[in-house]
Amino acid sequence: MNLSHLHAFTDAMQRKDLDAMLTHMADDIILKTPLVAEPFKGKAAIRPIVEALLGVVDKFDFLEMMQGPYHVSEFFRVTVGSIELDGMDYWRISEAGLIQEMTVLWRPLPAVVAVQQKLDRAEGEPA
């Protein structure tokens, strides 16, 4: 499996370059995130949630990548101010090597809640 899109995606994520990140996703991508119950479908739906997240995240540190025939998982650490999260992205990859589906898993729960509250405040919603 060609991982060039995934490596470029994680590099863009570390630079917080949303447009570059989106070029490595299929147009009909599905994003499942711990921040909301329903998945986001398509790049247009994903753009605002990822843009908001990139606005509050200070740093992504990618630690380890594992792969199977049609999927890849990457373990990472997210830093938001004094909050640190452990995370894993599970990606299903299209035949073209683009991210077709992305499931984001974060822990521990108190840190996830704190990041959700920061996102709510950044978007002007009550925490």
Domain boundaries, the chain: 4-119
**Mean pLDDT of successive 10-residue stretches along the chain, which has 127 residues:** 90 96 97 92 95 93 92 95 94 93 95 89 65
- Strands 71-80 and 40-41, by their bridges, are unpaired
Specify the pLDDT at position 125. Answer: 58
Architecture of the domain spanning 4-119 = Roll (3.10)
Beta-carbon contacts of residue 30 (< 8 Å; ≥ 6 apart): 39, 40, 41, 100, 101, 102
- The whole-number pLDDT of residue 14 equals 93
CA atoms within 13 A on the CB side of 35: 17
- Tokens 């996102």 locate to 119
Work out whether the CA dihedral 45, 28, 23, 60 comes out positive or negative: positive
- Taken as a whole, the chain contains a residue count of 127
